[in-house]
A = this chain, B = another copy of it.
Amino acid sequence: MPPKVKTEQEKQQLKTLIIDAARDLFVTKGVDAVSMREIAKRIGYSATSIYLHFADKETLLRTICDADFLALAGTLRSIMQIEDPVDRMIALGKSYAEFALSHPNHYRMMFMTPHASCKPEDSSLEQNNAEQDAYLQLKTTVIAVHEAGRFRKELTDVDLIAQTIWAGMHGVCSLQITMSQDAWVNWSDINDRLTLMQDVLISGLVNKD
């Protein structure tokens, strides 16, 4: 079964084959509910073959998340072209939420579980860390809104503002991801909850005019 000497391209091809199969299963069944054997079976390999390309399950998951967060950063980047900074801020929040709810397992890993492996050597200054990227884009937009004088006068700490916006959107998304199944709360429609949160954030932070 093992034909030899794969070109680098073929290797990468198999790697993304694994990634795509794993992501599909992770997203639909949840990371913990998917075994390496199941991933392998889907692509017609044995489970141990995956270990020739990824150190372990955690690394595989991490690789998938990195790729998807890169995609998120790309999506957000295109939003940065919106001229009006308040509109931009709203669009960022909406796009962020869409990502969170359509990739709940990735979102859970990046923002709802402690990052064990944040080695200091990882955080080189010029890394294109997608997390950092996303936060920076929000902060940049918040600064723009601030410089346009459109926040309430007493609000001057842009980090505090950005983190509050982030927390608001994160709260709705993470609550949805972990608790939307619980039947003892009469959950409103998730879109209504997102919209109201954005309205509240805007009308609570931005100047009336």
Which residue of B112, B118, B166, B196 is within 8 Å of A184 (Cβ)?
A: B118
Q: In the bound complex, how far is the Cα of B199 from the Cα of A65, in angstroms?
A: 33
One of A46-54, A72-80, A84-92, A175-183 at the interface:
A175-183
Q: In the bound complex, how far is the Cα of B161 from the Cα of A192, in angstroms?
A: 10
Q: In the bound complex, how far is the Cα of B184 from the Cα of A13, in angstroms?
A: 29
Does A114 reach chain B (CB closer than 8 Å)?
A: yes
A172 CB to closest chain B CB (Å) equals: 4
Q: How many chain-A residues does the 8 Å CB contact rule pick out? A: 53
- Chain B residues whose C-beta falls within 8 Å of the C-beta of A182 in the assembled complex: 115, 118, 131
Given known pairs A114-B181, A200-B201, A204-B200, the reply for A159 and B131 (CB within 8 Å) is no
Structural contact, B113 and A178, CB atoms closer than 8 A: yes
- Chain B residues whose C-beta falls within 8 Å of the C-beta of A113 in the assembled complex: 178
* CB-contacts of A153-209 with B (<8 A): 157, 159-161, 163-164, 166-172, 174-175, 177-179, 181-188, 192-193, 196-197, 199-205
Does A3 reach chain B (CB closer than 8 Å)?
A: no
Interface residues of A (CB under 8 A from B): 32, 111-118, 120, 123, 127, 129, 131-132, 135, 157, 159-161, 163-164, 166-172, 174-175, 177-179, 181-188, 192-193, 196-197, 199-205
6 residue pairs of the A-B complex, CB under 8 angstroms, read: A32-B32, A111-B175, A115-B182, A123-B183, A129-B184, A200-B205
Given A131-B182, A203-B203, A204-B204, 13 more pairs with CB closer than 8 A: A113-B178, A114-B177, A114-B178, A118-B181, A135-B185, A167-B171, A167-B172, A167-B193, A169-B171, A171-B172, A171-B174, A200-B200, A200-B201
